[in-house]
Structure 1
Amino acid sequence: MTQNSGPVHDETNPDPANTPGLEAGGGVAPGSTPPDAPQTSGLSDSEPRTSNRFPPTGIALIIGLIILVLLFVAAAVAIVVQMA
């Protein structure tokens, strides 16, 4: 069995002691560019295309609201006619 004397560093995770430009504590001097680090960009999987159509439930909701408004208008007209 072998023992490691410290953490193992590779190219994607450089040894901070040997990285130029780092100050004590791991910071960088003003105007200095930090060391290159691996990053993840973009999506891991393609997203499904969204539909540009209006959903049927939205159409049903609008029709229901129109009917409700018409009922309130009819009730208001009936009340005004009774008062006259």
Structure 2
Amino acid sequence: MTSSPHPDPDPEPRDTSGLEPGGGVPPGETPPSEGGMSGTGPAHNPPKGWSKGPLALILGLAVLIAAFFLVYALVLLL
């Protein structure tokens, strides 16, 4: 048998440490399961979407800039 440079991804169960006969794992061999997300703190539900104030400010600024360039183009044409 030739030696492979890659380890076998599916080793022989007889040669694997920590396994009981039949392939089970004894208690204490694996870490305990996690409790999930139950202890992360109070729930924070941020509002959905943009609030009306910043959105109105951005739209107003965009209209003001568009009006400036429209007036500038009209002045250049005349």
Q: TM-score by structure 2 length?
A: 0.48
Highest relative contact order (Cα 8 Å, sep 6+), 1 or 2? Answer: 1
Q: TM-score by structure 1 length?
A: 0.46
